[in-house]
């Protein structure tokens, strides 16, 4: 019996897709429980083939695991059908590989329009995929669960209600509810063919001793409650939030593994203490190929922030780490590591302030680690020293390290 939760420990884009794919080779079940098509999990096979998944669990790239999508997710129906077709899933056979909770909320054109209008006011830097409004309206009990696809008259009335509500947020044309209904009719058979009791399936699998992997989306620093609010996502990105999204309790998890880049990136607005605006930031962006898999936007880049990482380890409960993109740091003589903050009015601190506005004013305090010539040789003493510094500061053990995008570029440090 084994349930492993895998979460990102930065602002997303840590390489979770590759790590899920790597671990899924030994898993019976892979389940997502939060987020939606704002995720972009990239998997590069050893022949160079690249797969980018936004909704389907990354375990779909492997031939065997059953893939589950829990009630905590928000699902864009047309995007999901597109990914199902790309994965070779047909409505008649899809449920053998994929199971979707009818409680998951659907992202509709109204949510996208509402987010566009809100983003013009708030300037959060969202993906503009309608994710936030979908979660918000779900919390207001005005959501559109996938299960409504099987109840057409109720869905029609629900769409009219949503149309009228979004119309109150500003002028402009909105899709006619009947047009949206007809568009949903075209994909409803695909989605309904995959719906089922995700939570029940998970608990049966756990009782049978199956190996289960919970796949997180985004990163802990973007958590709605514990992230750099208001520059956060709209779901819980911690391990406990992930478990809740699929219907498991905290005691059901046996391991929590955190994924962390050897440096730090962020997309969109919000505080980023170790961000580099000059040549160093450009070097990290170019060598790391730092462009969003979902939006194509360039990522902001900077050095590894151990203070934020220690906080994310605590909040997520991660005791093990997978370190990715070590190769991007190859060839540097010295590598800065943020080990403390200078906080206005408080001086030097080694804990992340919970006041998000105060956090935006902190300045990083660096220690220098010696660089290396090639991280592919994980036995290099300077690579080992870099990993040891991370372990000592965070209290979590690095169990795997990655030095490139392909499956084979992963090993034990």
Q: Which residue has the tokens 């909320």?
A: 105
DSSP annotation string for 186-242:
HHHHHHHTTB--HHHHHHHHHHTT-EEEEE--S-GGG-TTTSSTTSS-SS--SHHHH
Residue 229 near residue 215, CB atoms below 8 Å: no
Per-residue tokens: 159: 């769409």
Query: In this structure, what are the phi and psi dihedrals at residue 191, rounded to the nearest 5 degrees?
Result: -70, -45
For 343-361, b/e burial (b = at least 16 CB within 10 A) is beeeeeeeebbeeeeebee
For residue 65, which of 33, 29, 89 has the smallest C-alpha distance? 29
Strands 255-261 and 2-8 turn out to be parallel
Q: Which of 21, 26, 28, 41 is catalytic?
A: 41
DSSP annotation string for 345-366:
TTEEESS--S-HHHHTT-EEEE
CA distance 98 to 87: 11
Enclosing H/E stretch for 372: none
Q: Which of 13, 21, 305, 380 is catalytic?
A: 13
Per-residue tokens: 327: 């190769």
Residue 13 appears among annotated catalytic residues: yes
Residue 34 near residue 241, CB atoms below 8 Å: yes
DSSP annotation string for 290-314:
-B-TTT-PBPEEE-EEHHHHHHHHH
Query: In this structure, what are the phi and psi dihedrals at residue 348, rounded to the nearest 5 degrees?
Result: -80, 130
CA distance 19 to 215: 10
Sign of CA dihedral 115, 117, 120, 122: negative
Enclosing H/E stretch for 181: helix 177-192
Q: Which residue has the tokens 């047309």?
A: 78
Per-residue tokens: 254: 């046996």
Active site residues per annotation = 13, 41
């Amino acid at each position: 019996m084994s349930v492993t939760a895998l979460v990102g420990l930065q602002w997303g884009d840590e390489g979770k897709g590759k790590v899920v794919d790597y671990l899924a080779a030994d898993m019976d079940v892979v389940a997502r429980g939060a987020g939606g098509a704002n995720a972009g999990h990239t998997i590069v096979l050893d022949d160079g083939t690249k797969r980018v998944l936004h909704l389907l669990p990354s375990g779909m790239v492997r031939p065997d695991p059953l893939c589950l999508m829990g009630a905590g997710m928000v699902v864009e129906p047309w995007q999901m059908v597109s990914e199902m077709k790309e994965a070779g899933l047909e409505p008649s056979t899809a449920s053998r590989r994929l199971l979707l909770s009818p409680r998951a909320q659907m992202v509709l054109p109204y949510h996208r329009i509402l987010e566009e209008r809100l983003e013009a006011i708030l300037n959060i830097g969202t993906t503009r995929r309608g994710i936030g409004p979908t979660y918000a309206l779900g919390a207001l009990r005005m959501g559109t669960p996938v299960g409504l696809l099987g109840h057409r008259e109720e869905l029609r009335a629900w769409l009219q209600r949503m149309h009228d509500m979004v119309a109150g947020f500003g002028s402009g044309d909105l899709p006619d509810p009947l047009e949206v209904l007809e568009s949903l009719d075209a994909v409803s058979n695909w989605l309904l063919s995959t719906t089922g009791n995700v939570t029940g399936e998970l608990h049966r699998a756990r009782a049978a001793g199956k190996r289960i992997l919970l796949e997180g989306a985004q990163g802990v620093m973007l958590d709605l409650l514990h992230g750099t609010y208001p520059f956060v996502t709209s779901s819980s990105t911690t391990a406990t939030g992930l478990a809740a999204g699929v219907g498991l309790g905290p005691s059901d998890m046996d391991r929590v593994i955190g994924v962390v880049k050897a440096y730090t990136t962020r997309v969109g607005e919000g505080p980023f203490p170790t961000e580099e605006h000059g040549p160093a930031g450009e070097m990290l962006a170019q060598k790391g190929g730092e462009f969003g898999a979902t939006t194509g936007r360039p990522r902001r880049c900077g050095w590894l922030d151990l203070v934020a990482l220690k906080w994310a380890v605590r909040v997520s409960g991660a005791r093990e780490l997978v370190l990715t993109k070590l190769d991007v740091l190859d060839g540097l003589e010295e590598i800065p590591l943020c080990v403390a903050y200078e906080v206005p009015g408080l001086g030097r601190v080694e804990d992340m302030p919970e006041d998000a506005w105060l956090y935006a004013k902190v300045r990083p305090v660096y220690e220098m680690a010696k660089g290396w010539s090639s991280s592919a040789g994980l036995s290099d003493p300077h690579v080992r020293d870099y990993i040891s510094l991370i372990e000592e500061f965070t209290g979590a053990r690095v169990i795997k390290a990655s030095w490139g995008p392909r499956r084979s570029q992963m090993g034990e440090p």
